[in-house]
Amino acid sequence: MSYSGPEFEPAPSRRSPLRRPLVVALAALAPGALLGWGVYAAVGGPAAPGGAASAAVGTPAAGSGSTGPAADGDGKPTASSGSAGSGSLKGKVVVIDPGHNPNNFRHTAEIGRKVDIGTNRKECDTTGTSTNSGYAEARFTLDVAHRLRALLQAQGATVKLTQDGDRAFGPCVDERARIGNTAHADAVISIHADGAAAGDRGFHVILPASVHAGAADTRPITARSHDLGVRVLGGFRRVTGSAPANYLGDGTGLVTRKDLGGLNLSTVPKVFIECGNMRDGKDAALLTSGAWRQKAALGISEGIVSFLRG
């Protein structure tokens, strides 16, 4: 930084009769000196601490505490986020299931048809809920899914989404389960937000019940799914600061259900998370915040990483 003004003017100096020849000599030597330093640095000479050499490759400073992708002002991962994984989850497959679909409301007949979920038949899918101001659950789930994918990919995991807003509707709940099964996923997380009464606040994680009926047999995955759910609950609570739901689960934040096809038909560890209640004003203020959704994704990712590392 340079300054101008009377108070920063340099004091006048006396001109030496040797100054002119000396300046010429130094000017002649400067290019060679710079060239020599360039070669020295290129072959492994020490760089100044915090210098441009380390900044150019985007390496975090030691002790920075950075464990995930960079985010923009709204808390959303930047385009370069997660481009290089740490490798800690290399070989692991995670399937993210963003609940519902932004286009479902245009296809009520298609999503209304019944499919087999093992214990009975149920609607293919639903439109989901929304905040009182009209922010749709399907938009929320897809946004959190994108953030979560970036975080997990940055850890080296292979990540697949059951839908990316790129299909007319669905997929149906039985197909969502098949996607995780076919991928031989090490973990599947289905992302949702609830539509309970105002005043009902908090999040909860849904675990598969032990079901053995028709096409459903969750017995081989219930224990592992419970472990996954507990870890996701812990990570989500720690990072977001949210409390477990005050309207179900007896304050534990864990709910076991046997009426969800996405869980009943899964053959790999899988849980749902209801991140908050869209119909409550205080919860809705969180769910509509990009910065908070980034925290939600980070909390979920920490739970999944903990589960996959064992």
* The residue count for the chain: 310
Eight-state DSSP code of residue 15: P
In 3D space, the residue among 188, 205, 178, 182 whose CA is nearest the CA of residue 276 turns out to be: 205
Please tell me what DSSP assigns to residue 72.
-
Residue 249 to residue 265: CA distance in whole angstroms: 23
* Bridge partner list, 98: 191
Q: Which of 137, 175, 274, 302 is catalytic?
A: 274
- Judge whether 236 and 273 are in contact, CB under 8 Å: yes
Instruction: Give the rounded distance of the alpha carbon of 201 from its chain centre.
Output: 23
Helix (H) or strand (E) holding 240: helix 222-240
Rounded distance between C-alpha atoms, residue 107 and residue 1, angstroms: 61
- How open is the CA angle 249-255-259, to the nearest 5 degrees? 130
Our answer to whether residue 274 is catalytic in this structure is yes
**Rounded to an integer, what is the distance from CA 266 to the centroid of its chain?**
23
**CA 226, CA 204: separation in Å to the nearest integer?**
13
DSSP 166: -
Strand locations in 126-281 (E) = 158-161, 187-194, 204-208, 212-213, 216-217, 254-257, 270-277
Kind and range of the H or E element at 98?
strand 93-98
Which residues on adjacent β-strands are paired with residue 191?
A: 98, 273
Find the helix or strand (DSSP H, E) in which 28 lies: helix 19-42
User: Where in the sequence numbering do the catalytic residues fall?
Assistant: 274
